[in-house]
Amino acid sequence: MAFAHYLLAVPVEPCEYPKLPISNPPLSISSHCLNLSSTLRPKTHNLSLFSRLRRIAHKANAKPQEPEVSVASDAFTEFKHLLLPITDRNPYLSEGTRQAIATTSALAKKYGADITVVVIDEQQKESLPEHEAQLSSIRWHLSEGGLKDYNLLERLGEGSKPTAIIGDVADDLNLDLVVISMEAIHTKHIDANLLAEFIPCPVMLLPL
Q: Does the residue 171 lie in any domain? A: yes
**Residue range 12-29, pLDDT digits in tens:** 444 444 454 544 444 444
Mean pLDDT of the chain: 77
Residue 44 counted as domain residue: no
Contact 154, 119 (CB under 8 A): yes
* pLDDT of amino acid 133: 93
Kind and range of the H or E run holding 47: helix 44-61
28 domain residue, yes or no: no
Within a domain: 138: yes
Length of the chain equals 208
Helices then strands, counting H and E runs in the chain, come out as 9, 5
Q: What is the CATH number of the domain that holds 183?
A: 3.40.50.620
Question: pLDDT digits over 95-119, tens only?
Answer: 999 999 999 999 999 999 999 999 9
Range of the domain at 90: 78-206
Q: What span, in angstroms and rounded, lies between the C-alpha atoms of 100 and 106?
A: 10
pLDDT digit string, tens, across residues 57-69: 444 444 445 444 4
Task: Report the number of distinct structural domains present in the chain.
Answer: 1
Residue 134's SS3 state is: helix
Nearest to 190 by CA among 182, 200, 201, 202: 182
Query: Does residue 10 fall inside a structural domain?
Result: no
Please give the average per-residue pLDDT across 64-88, as a whole number: 75
Residue of higher predicted confidence among 172 and 157: 172
The DSSP H or E segment spanning 179 is: strand 177-181
- The answer to whether 132 touches 57, Cβ cutoff 8 Å, is no
Residue with the bigger pLDDT between 205 and 125: it is: 205
